[in-house]
Structure 1
Amino acid sequence: MSELRRQALTVPGSGKTISRKARSRQSSAASSRVASRQASRVNSRVGSRANTDDEGSSSDGTCYSLDSFAGSAPTVEEELPDPGQHWKEVLGDMVNRICDRKKSSYLGREEALREYAAILSAKFAKEEITRRKSDIIASCLHSIKAPRTEKESLLAAKALALTIITDPSEDVYDAVAQTFKRVITDHDSHLLKCALIHNLSAAAFYGGATTAETEGIMNYLLDIIESDGHSAGAGDDAGVVTAALEEWGFLCTQLEDAEEITTNSIDALIDQLESSEVPVQVAAGENIALLYEKSYTEAEEDELDDATQAGTKWVQRYKPYGRTEELKETLTGMSSGSRRYLSKRNKKTQRSAFADILHSLDDPLKGPRFSEALDKDGAVRGSRLKVRVHKTGILRVDKWWKLLRVQHLKRLLGGGFLTHWTENPIIFESLRYGPWAFCEVPMTRLIVTVCLSSSTRCRSLIA
């Protein structure tokens, strides 16, 4: 992006120049850059979806905290405040306070929205909110459109996101999409823009958007990416561009056929690899890996013999990018973490993420953290990304589409991921595996091992 790339473009010996598009915006954007950088979420977060913390690893280095893959959101194992035995009554009271705006002050609404979000994170409360859901959504939208404070709008956005994922329905997208897009474009708060970009994709995915509408949202997000945030009124803001990249990739996982959208977007994603901000680079790189993965589909019956002879049941339908070897050279340089201005932590993040992405371009059927090393039985280790969702819980993520969906869920649910993982059926549906009932035992005795591969049955094991 014009400002964010500047550091990278001026590194001695880089030999790179600023794009024509970026130069044409410099004069008009100069006055807004200082304010944009000050408001940017990137100034207060460390973008790191790759493994950046050794303490999240198991003894063989293959188990990572889910927090490693979702920016600065709280860890899955974070203990949320206990709503207490009477949480249903408290939730009902908070819903009344949120919906009855005439009798509440903005301070009262902020308190009610905060408590409502905390309860919806800690408890799966679909039955408790269904009857008032339309009123809750309407009130949250009012707080987003015309808040007294930025805090009220951010809390309303959080409450609305949790409402969407707790009780998805076919009419949610139509109810919120236009408001979200208008506020993203017009509001001054970059934090609110980021929150609503995440909410917009959640509403599209869980709230009844058609394929055409989903592609329309992806094009809207692509405009933000291509314009370096300017189309959303957040020129050169790394947080906003990162959010757009993350949610573009999340929505892309839903598409059956991604050939046309790959053609229309791959250059913009590659362009973002030049950013000096690691979160932007990694989000763009993960999307590129996803597009290469999606260029393969399962072989049809008449193709099965040839595919089997080649050692796979998958067939590449199209070439995602015409200059793959050139792209690999770029990714190879990034996987070395050689940019001198990066911190030690960001270099580690960059090396880890782009080594994975480069490996997937060599073989798109191998997902993140794929290892060619042999185990003690002489078999290839394969996917090693086992994300810890609890002290005794393991979630295996062996495809890029799975990683992007898990990251999205983590951004929405934060510390409430485990509760929704065990009780909310939308989690199972979004990760594409069938019904699975947990045994009725205390969670302290439950070991959850989830294999997201479609060929493997999910099981629950008792400690």
Structure 2
Amino acid sequence: MGKGSKKNKGSRAGDQLDSSDTDSISSSSTVMSDCAPVYTTEHVTSNDFVLDKLIDALYEKRGSTRENALVGLVDAFESFVLLPFIENKFATLSQLFINSIKKGSAKETILASRAIGLLSLTIGGGPSSHEIMEESLPELCRILAGSDQSKMPAVLDCLALVTFVGANDLDETEVALKAIWEVIHPKSGSNVGTVKKYRPPVVAAAITAWSFLLTTISNWRRNPENWKEHIMHLSTLLEADDRAVRMAAGEAIALFFELKLLDVRLAEESPAEKDPKYQLFIYMQGMKAKVTGQIDTLAGEAGGKGADKKNLNDQRELFQKIWDYIKDGWSPEETVKISSKLGILRVSSWTELIQLNFLRRFLGRGFLKHAQGNSLLHEIFNFGVDKTDGLSNIAKKIYRSEEEKERALRLNKDRKIAQAKKQSILIEQV
């Protein structure tokens, strides 16, 4: 799976389907329960019997039959961790899903893309997920190079996820990063003569998928020269009209700072002004100053008449977190209650928060089930005991208040140490 990911909101499928598809989906989503009477008469595991029937339906010529089967399979993948069932079927499932992407409608492509992502996430890292990535990547990239934007958010999610789980090295990861970036910044693509204009939801989805995949490069040393175009374009997206695009770009920039992709080290005390490395240093310092100013503005943006207050508040909260991190070193923290046995899932960095938000949104209602039983998620995240379990509401508030005080003291100490180091460096340079 994505290297360096360990220590380093609902499903989109329904959102991307047209309203005309609603009746078909709602009727097919009950396919598991419709087969319930058969459970008592068949000498097979009930769930396996239903799932085998759904797989058989993917061979049918009628598109609506395949679509209904995909809805049932997606529902099953969300509701259960189906590792025992798919261990000997992953190659067949992967090929059937890819066939649906090749010849299916937009609806079928969206469902099949989601199914491939869930398949990869369920089977976890290793040769099987690598095979899924290799087989699906050409078709996913073909759709991203096409013109039907209704499919793209689901395809972007799928491409990021199968690469996150299945890539063996940086070269494989970079193939997907490049394909996704060409949606974010079309001018960087090969067909510069026909620059595409992507709708804001597609751009926001692309940035989110790209950032999720970017979290896996933290253990590789990166040359800041390679990130000049990216930080410059993300800076322009902070000024986009669409709030979702601005917020996605902000998270990507926060990750840039955390991974130190903008840091340039100068070996010489007094480098020549024409030295390329010195010029890169000056450029990155300027970009840091620019985006920091933009983030400060977005953290305090006024609502204005007719503004969407909820999304505005979400924007303010996000960019305030980014500002606190860049200026004072305050890393974002979030906890999710998983179960009484497993306790809580805690994240405390932009890398982990971006991974959590992506997987929580992708899995939707199935997130808790997978957090409890999917070993891949236990490789990615830290799970711990919820020390407030069993306490009264008042005791919980007191405990969490004390935790916040300890965190503030720790962060203040870290900030003072960082400021002292910075001051020491400045004195040495003088």
**1:212-241 residue CA offsets vs partner (Å, 9 max, x unmatched):** 121232122222212389979861311111
Residue 394 of structure 1 deviates from its aligned partner by: 3.7
1:118 is aligned to 75
Is 1:223 matched up with 2:182? yes
Residues in 1 aligned to 2:318 and 2:31: alpha-carbon distance in whole angstroms? 36
SS at match of 2:96: helix
How far apart are the structure 2 equivalents of 1:276 and 1:401?
26
SS in structure 1 of the partner of residue 88 of structure 2: helix
Q: CA deviation at 1:400?
A: 0.2
Question: Deviation digits for residues 163-203 of structure 1, max 9, x if unmatched?
Answer: 11111322121111111000122252x23111011100111
Which residue of the other structure, out of 358, 361, 383, is the alignment partner of 1:411? Answer: 361
Identity %: 23
- CA distance change for structure 1 residues 71 and 422 in 2, over 3 Å: closer, same or farther? closer
Query: After superposition, where does 1:22-421 map in structure 2 within 5 Å?
Result: 67=9, 88-99=45-56, 101-103=58-60, 105-147=62-104, 149-168=105-124, 169-188=129-148, 190-227=149-186, 235-255=197-217, 256=219, 257-260=221-224, 261-295=226-260, 321-323=284-286, 324-338=288-302, 340=304, 342-363=307-328, 365-368=329-332, 383=333, 385-389=334-338, 394-421=344-371
Partner Cα distance (1:272, 1:290) in 2: 15
Residues 71 and 113 from structure 1, CA distance in 2 versus in 1: closer, same or farther, beyond 3 angstroms? closer
AA of the residue aligned to 2:347: V
| 1:429 maps to 2:379 | yes
SS at structure 2 position matched to 1:143: helix
Is the 8 Å Cα contact of residues 197 and 247 (structure 1) preserved in structure 2?
yes
Does the CA contact (< 8 Å) of 2:247 and 2:315 recur in 1? yes
Q: Secondary structure of the equivalent of 1:253? A: helix
Please identify, of 207-216 and 97-106, the stretch whose mean Cα deviation from structure 2 is larger. Answer: 97-106
Which residue does the alignment assign to 1:27? none
Separation in 1 of the partners of 2:59 and 2:159? 28
1:380 maps to what in 2? none
Q: Following the alignment from structure 2 to structure 1, what is the Cα–Cα distance between the partners of residues 214 and 73? A: 31
**1:128: Cα distance to partner?**
0.4
TM-fit CA distance, 1:146: 1.0
Q: Cα offset for 1:92? A: 4.2
Partner of 1:34: none
TM alignment of 1:1-12, pairs within 5 A: none
Distance 1:425 1:201, change over 3 A: same
Structure 2 CA distance for aligned equivalents of residues 172 and 320 of structure 1: 40
Amino acid at match of 2:153: C
Change (3 A) 1:218 1:319: farther
**Would the aligned equivalents of 1:228 and 1:241 in 2 still touch at CA under 8 Å?**
no
List gaps (5 residues or longer) in structure 2: 1-8, 15-28, 262-280, 386-402, 404-430
CA contact (8 A) 2:97 2:115 kept: yes
Q: TM-score, normalised by structure 2?
A: 0.67
SS state of the match for residue 345, structure 2? strand
* 2:31–2:72 contact (8 Å) kept in structure 1: no
Q: CA deviation at 1:293?
A: 0.9
CA 1:102–1:358: 2 relative to 1, 3 Å: closer
Q: Which has the higher helix share?
A: 2
Q: Which has the higher strand share?
A: 1
State the 1:428 CA deviation: 1.4
Alpha-carbon distance, 1:96 to partner: 4.7
Aligned partners of 2:81 and 2:373 also within 8 Å: yes
Q: Is the 8 A contact 2:101 2:112 kept in 1?
A: yes
Q: Any conservation in 2 of the 1:332–1:355 contact (CA below 8 Å)?
A: yes
Structure 1: distance between partners of 2:282 and 2:122? 39
How far off its partner does 1:110 sit? 1.5
Offset at residue 134 of structure 1 (A): 1.0
Residue type of the alignment partner of 2:359? L
Tell me what 1:375 maps to: none
Structure 1 CA distance for aligned equivalents of residues 355 and 214 of structure 2:
10
Rg larger for:
2
Using the alignment, how far apart are the partners of 1:220 and 1:430 within structure 2?
A: 24
TM-score of the aligned structures, taking structure 1 as reference length? 0.63
